[in-house]
Structure 1
């Protein structure tokens, strides 16, 4: 098993889920401050990911045998970050569309409505993270 791939996969799954459910998760009383990062509690993240990522479910018994501290598990999985900050950073890197404009003398075009940058589809999230991949093989 490739640990870096698992970490990246879990991060994508968590951020995609968080983006889709941000409105209600932000209002839950599950937020904690862990090593200077404001994020949902470890139990909430692990519970969510155990339903989203079948690979994690098979690994959790081993992981818990090694450490039963949920905060340490989240740290080890690379998930100790504020999801709002992470999504804002990814959205800042996404290409922005300029608003269309028409002159008073022109007839407005019937163009499809575009989504604001904060509603970037989840597909972009995984492709953005994948583009940062540095590879796994050793180079001489």
Structure 2
């Protein structure tokens, strides 16, 4: 076999390893949405781990109804949680804000404009 064939075979063999569950030891190929050995349903969508971030930008209305987005320098974040009235006020007066929160948090399915960011703290940027 050529080196490329060996590398490709190794990649295919290890691709299914990411679909395992933390409890119960079941596995799923991650693409079918089939039950694992412990009965959990896998949707096949691997989520990155959440991480605490602090980002600065402007709150803007997202492309989907009811979604607000923080447009930071290099990344857009879908804002999850927080005080809706305060968020809308920041959007209306074009205030630059700093948000601290959990990136890659679960977000409403209709909000797809960026990385979901669960707000822990939001304040005007200094």
**TM-score normalised over the length of structure 2:** 0.22
Greater relative contact order structure (CA < 8 Å, 6+ sep): 1
Q: Relative to total residues, which structure has the larger strand share, 1 or 2?
A: 2
Structure with more of its chain in helix, by fraction: 1
